[in-house]
């Protein structure tokens, strides 16, 4: 099941809210959330519920062991057990075929490729449970004594399938003792509507153009068509990822949870480093706190540490060489920025540093998109074939004309217009009620447009299948 579906919007979510708020008993509320989360996760492939419950049980037990034997070899055994089992599951289901295939190519062997179906969301909940075990070991959080509460943390459907990566430490207090407020519920509905609009009205429309141009034979494309497809993918992936994060944060507010922000207008970045402080923040901070800093951070072997982090960042996104290349692509630019480039950029007007950031970020998405290296090379060649005669065609003009106002709106939506408008009404005019009233009207329009889009079109791609 996905958030951007009529079943979720008009049946699953209303029923969940109705049953949740029909009781004030915390145990019953937690049980309702668990049952709905398991049903949500098992909608397509119920068998993977057992794997998620097993993962939760492993880390629940290891967390109790770590806390009980803190400061002894027993705590280390608990931590190592958690890491081996979690990473082992991830390696088995996500990377085993990729590893065997490359071993065969490298050594000339002929091992049979394992064919495991990838459980949706395994990359997210694995990192969540790993962070829990590490934080308990570091004595940054207390081990959860109730397995049901821990299972609720792991299985919460708000963020289970599409993120963000929610750490136990961020919501530990709310798991045990949360207070649902009417104001938060209202904020949650508003945030969910915004996220749904991002996904359905912006990302899905962009996805149609992506499929038209980036999935076509590169040799048949005009250069302008190749760039249009790439720019549309940059729009699609941002509004899809940030849209799902907005919906997750909104759903969390509806049920008393406060998840951290995951995207902060990344396309307004003035450097690649700045971009990654704004893009998929939960993933970036995970690698920073659990890989980069333990390796030595900025204190020693800085570039080796960066290489490891960005290799793993790329690999986390998918079991294919293009994701590793994509991660290392950003490693190169972030290393250059740490070495000298950031100092130079700070001396330039923001317009130039912003242009530089986009010039690096947007072409990088072509590496992310193509898992087939032959198609990747062909598309890159087309992007930079400015000397060819096939630069533009009538079809491009037609597509741009048909989507002109949508495209302008999408560009504006990449900027912090909403937050600046809110600040203007609340701080400058001191009339927050006007903004709140306008926000309600906007939410109604968003829902109407989203429902109309979902009813009228069946094209609703889900790009989290590799996670």
Active-site residues: which are they? 317
Q: Where are the alpha helices (DSSP H) in 42-180?
A: 48-68, 73-90, 96-107, 122-137, 147-155, 168-176
Residue 420 exposed, middle or buried by CB count within 10 Å (0-12, 13-18, 19+): exposed
Alpha-carbon distance of 280 to 287, in angstroms, equals 11
Residue that the structure tokens 């912090």 belong to: 416
> Cα–Cα distance between 156 and 164 in angstroms, integer?
11
Measured at the CA of 172, the angle between CA 170 and CA 173, to 5 degrees, comes to 110
Please give the Cα distance from 105 to 115 (Å, whole number): 17
Angle at 465 between CA 329 and CA 191, to 5 degrees: 90
Q: Burial letters for 79-110: b for 16+ Cβ neighbours within 10 Å, e otherwise?
A: bebbeebbeebbeebbbbbbbeeeeeeeeeee
Longest dimension (CA), the chain: 71
For the chain, the distance separating the N- and C-terminal CA atoms, rounded to the nearest angstrom, is 15
Q: Which helix (H) or strand (E) element contains residue 424?
A: none
What is the Cα–Cα distance from 218 to 211, expressed in whole angstroms? 12
Instruction: State yes or no: cis peptide before 164, omega within 30 of 0.
Output: yes
Pair of tokens at residue 216:
């076509």
Residue written as token pair 């990473």: 87
Please state, in angstroms and as integers, the Cα–Cα distance from residue 274 to each residue in 73, 134, 297, 317, 362, following that order.
41, 27, 17, 20, 14
Q: In angstroms, rounded to a whole number, what is the distance separating the alpha carbons of residues 172 and 141?
A: 8
**Contact between 36 and 17 (Cβ < 8 Å):** no
Using the 8-state DSSP alphabet, how is residue 8 labeled?
Answer: I
């Amino acid at each position: 099941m996905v958030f951007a579906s009529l079943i979720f919007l008009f049946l699953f979510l209303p029923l969940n809210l109705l049953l949740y708020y029909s009781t004030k008993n915390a145990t019953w509320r937690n049980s309702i959330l668990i049952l709905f989360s398991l049903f949500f996760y098992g909608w397509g492939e119920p068998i993977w519920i057992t794997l998620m419950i097993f993962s939760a049980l492993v880390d629940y037990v290891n967390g109790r062991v770590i806390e009980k034997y803190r400061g002894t070899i027993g705590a280390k055994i608990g931590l190592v057990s958690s890491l081996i089992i979690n990473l082992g599951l991830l390696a088995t289901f996500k990377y085993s075929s990729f590893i065997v295939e490359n071993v065969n190519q490298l050594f000339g062997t002929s091992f049979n490729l394992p064919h495991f179906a990838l459980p949706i969301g395994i990359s997210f909940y694995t990192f969540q449970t790993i962070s829990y075990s590490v934080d308990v070991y570091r004595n940054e959080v207390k081990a959860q004594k109730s397995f049901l509460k821990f299972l609720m943390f792991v299985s919460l459907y708000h963020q289970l399938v599409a993120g963000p990566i929610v750490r136990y430490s961020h919501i530990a207090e709310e798991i045990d003792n949360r207070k649902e407020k009417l104001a938060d519920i209202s904020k949650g509905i508003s945030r969910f509507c915004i996220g749904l609009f991002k996904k359905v009205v912006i990302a899905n429309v962009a996805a149609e153009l992506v499929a038209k141009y980036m999935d076509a034979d590169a040799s048949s494309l005009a250069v302008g068509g190749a760039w249009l497809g790439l720019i549309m993918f940059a729009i699609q992936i941002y509004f899809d990822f940030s849209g799902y994060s907005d919906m997750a944060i909104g759903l969390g507010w509806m049920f008393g949870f406060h998840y951290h922000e995951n995207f902060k207008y990344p396309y307004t970045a003035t450097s690649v480093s700045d971009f990654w402080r704004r893009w998929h923040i939960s993933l970036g901070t995970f690698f920073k706190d659990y890989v980069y800093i333990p390796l030595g951070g900025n204190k020693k072997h800085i570039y080796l540490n960066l290489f490891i982090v960005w290799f793993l960042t790329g690999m986390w996104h998918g079991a294919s060489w293009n994701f590793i290349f994509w991660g290392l692509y950003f490693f190169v630019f972030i290393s250059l920025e740490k070495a000298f480039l950031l100092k130079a950029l700070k001396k330039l007007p923001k317009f130039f540093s912003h242009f530089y950031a986009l010039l690096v970020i947007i072409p990088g998405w072509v590496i992310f998109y193509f898992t087939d290296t032959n198609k990747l090379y062909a598309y890159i060649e087309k992007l930079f074939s400015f000397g060819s005669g096939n630069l533009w065609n009538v079809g491009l003009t037609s597509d741009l004309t048909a989507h002109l106002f949508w495209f302008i709106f999408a560009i504006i939506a990449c900027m912090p217009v909403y937050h600046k408008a809110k600040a203007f009404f609340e701080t400058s005019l001191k009339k927050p009620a006007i903004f709140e009233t306008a926000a309600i009207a906007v939410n109604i329009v968003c829902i109407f447009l989203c429902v109309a889009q979902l009813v009228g079109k069946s094209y609703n791609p889900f790009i989290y299948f590799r996670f």
